[in-house]
A and B are shown apart, each in its own frame.
Chain A
Amino acid sequence: MIPSNYFFILSIILFVLGIIAFFVKRDLIGQLMGIEIMLNAANLAFLALAKASNFPEAQAIVLFVIVVAAAEAAVGLAIILLIFRRKKTIKTEDIRSMKG
């Protein structure tokens, strides 16, 4: 039996990796993947919590998160596709039309 602390630590490591990926990657797809990693880190934390404190409802929340994350990924990818069509690039430093 692996102690649930390990799961928390793994979840933190994954989350930090996601943040790093988000800031290091220069294209939108990479950043989206970073976000996905962060989401899954959160999912893992939920599951660890469910196990450690005998709180099985948290597992249901994870299911919801997976569903919403799938939708989010689909929408995100579609947006990225459209941005690419219009700007011929997905590099974030080239997409600055929101500059004030």
Chain B
Amino acid sequence: MKDIFWLIPFGPAISALVLVLFGHRLSRKVVSIQACAAVFFSFAVSVVSCLGLINANRADFPLIKHLFSWISAGSLKAGFSLQFDPLSAVMVLVVTGVGFLIHVYSIGYMSRDKGYARYFACLNLFTFAMLLLVLASNMILMFVGWEGVGLCSYLLIGFWFEKPAAAAAGKKAFIVNRIGDAGFILGVLFIVLVVGNSEFMAINEAIGNGGLARGTATGIAILLFIGAAGKSAQIPLYVWLPDAMEGPTPVSALIHAATMVTAGVYMVARMNLLYAFSGTAGQIVAVVGAVTAVYAATMALTQNDIKRVLAYSTISQLGYMFLGCGVGAYAAGIFHLYTHAFFKSLLFLAAGSVIHSLSGEQDMRKMGGLKKYLPRTYPAFLIGAIAIAGVPFLSGFYSKDAILTQAFAQGHYVLWALGLGAAVLTAFYMFRLIFLTFYGEERLDPEAKRHLHESPRIMTLPLAILAFFSITAGYVGLPAVLGEKADVFKRFLNPVIRPVSGGHLASGTEWLLILLSTTAALLGIVLAYALYLKNKRIPHAFVARFPGLYKLLYNKYYVDEIYDAVVVNPLVRCSEGIYGGFDLKVIDGSLDGSASAAALAGKILAYFQTGLLKDYALVFLLGVVIFMGVLLF
């Protein structure tokens, strides 16, 4: 029973294969049942394996199942082998658990879409790739999953490819991810070069016995982090994630909030020995994470699209996770990943429910007062918002507090302050969203209002389950101040993640920090209440007072424009120059030239083809005569 974990990825894989090949012939009912059952199978196996892991002897860690040798080229060897340890277990449970709920939700959300089977095929394929990513026992197999989730992300962002914006967003996500992946590949290759093996065990061993110089380790760690920044939407490669909201909302919930974008965090946590050994790389991760957390939160303040607010919020929360990993609190980073998966997918699914009930409207300026129309969606949304804001007793509070406390304890006071600022902003923009959507006067389109309806049970049931976990998921990782044994989560991860040395705070300090982060959350909520519900003139006055700042935030710091001007347009112009100067003239010219030479030769030779029988016969006779002449004389 200990070994059955290797079955986890294959349920969705087989289902995806069947759906790709025969999906268009199966009825919607069969497609939905099969797709959900495949993920539920993985979830069930994950739970069983995870229970086995809790009871297992720690000396056995990690469990490794070698399925077959995949690559064997000189010194480069990679097996198709899976590894199961507490870190993989957490990821697998999140991916299959949240993934299953989102699959179920999708049945309702996509019920009228004509690409139904294609959608579920992509979703299953994604689940497979993500499971491969988190279960791989070496960097190269992990890279397969890494690219697989990128591909599925591309396919699902561009799912409604007839919409030009969706097609462009898919392309953008893919290309931006490629930039990060270039760094990731280089990092993997350097590891293979230096360590001679890409198995995580071997890498950790090499770090342990000094087989890796500190400078090399830093270089590799930074290269890998470039990949993580691409996949997990950190500065400077975050630009694809807001655009990725063009995809269906359950996809945003699964891929662009709960699972795929956390792959970078998982990778950093998986390589925690490397980052801890390097030191410098860990600090870079922490700084990038903290800056991203604040930076993305400020952009979320002015967005009017309900999904874009959530997208920037995701970037900001991913920044938190990297902050946690960077300061050495890998367990806290993974803990935030785990709670975030619940409340962020809850928020996305609830937003999807709002969008669904308004016949596709995403602009919050055309919402308002929806509380009484959506009696099941509203409480779910509210719970998600409270959880992400970091109000005590809900899951988001515990994980965010764990990160901030660790940042403070490790002496990174500036980063801690940035994190605290981001917490205020988070609470503020989330409640701005709540107040604009569910409270205040109705600003609905008359047409949308006529069709206004609460979403079906199949969509609200997953919301209820996720809401339950958004509240309770945090109780496995209580603050250290409540006792050494309170943080079950951290102790569970201990075999994989080396606990950081030092960083113990006096309990008074810790209580103070908890109080501060609670205050930050409440401050944000109160501010949002004051500005968007109580006295609605203030935001307008603010905009009138600081038009420059507002425009800067509203236009997302003009980063897209800057990237266009600095990177994209020069590249496009360069390509166009090459196209016009080299492609059209040299390559096409030489091809056209050889073609016209052949045509000319044909034209000349055609003069001999008179079509007259006698001419041919004459030439034939002449030939025979010459031949005879040569033969005889």
Contacts and interface: CB of A to CB of B under 8 A. Distances in A.
Contacts of B613: 31, 92, 95
Contacts of A98: 609, 611
Nearest to B621: A19
B612 A96 contact: yes
B608 A93 contact: no
A96 B614 contact: no
B607 A100 contact: yes
A95 B612 CA distance: 7
B608 A100 contact: yes
Contacts of B610: 96, 99
Nearest to B605: A100
Interface in A76-100: 92-93, 95-100
Contacts of A95: 611, 613
B609 A99 contact: yes
Given A23-B617, A93-B612, A100-B607, 7 more contacts: A19-B621, A92-B612, A95-B611, A96-B611, A96-B612, A99-B611, A100-B609
A30 to B, nearest CB: 12
Contacts of A19: 621
A38 B612 CA distance: 21
20 contacts: A23-B614, A23-B617, A23-B618, A31-B613, A92-B612, A92-B613, A92-B614, A93-B612, A95-B611, A95-B613, A97-B611, A98-B609, A98-B611, A99-B609, A99-B610, A99-B611, A100-B606, A100-B607, A100-B608, A100-B609
A22 interface: yes
Interface string B588-616: 00000000000000000111111111100
In the complex, the 4 A-B pairs of residues with the closest C-beta atoms, listed nearest first? A100-B609, A99-B611, A100-B606, A96-B611
A97 B608 CA distance: 14
Contacts, number: 27
A97 B613 CA distance: 11
Nearest to A99: B611
B627 to A, nearest CB: 15
A31 B610 CA distance: 18
Interface string B192-225: 0000000000000000000000000000000000
A100 B608 CA distance: 8
Interface string B163-196: 0000000000000000000000000000000000
A51 B625 CA distance: 27
Contacts of A31: 613
A23 B615 CA distance: 9
A92 B616 CA distance: 12
A16 to B, nearest CB: 11
A60 B607 CA distance: 44
B618 to A, nearest CB: 7
Interface string A2-32: 0000000000000000010011000000010
Contacts of B611: 95-100
A22 B612 CA distance: 13
A40 B606 CA distance: 35
Interface in B618-633: 618, 621
Nearest to A25: B614
A83 to B, nearest CB: 11
A66 to B, nearest CB: 23
Contacts of A99: 609-611
A58 to B, nearest CB: 20
Nearest to A28: B613
Contacts of A22: 617
Nearest to B606: A100
A19 B622 CA distance: 12
Contacts of B614: 23, 92
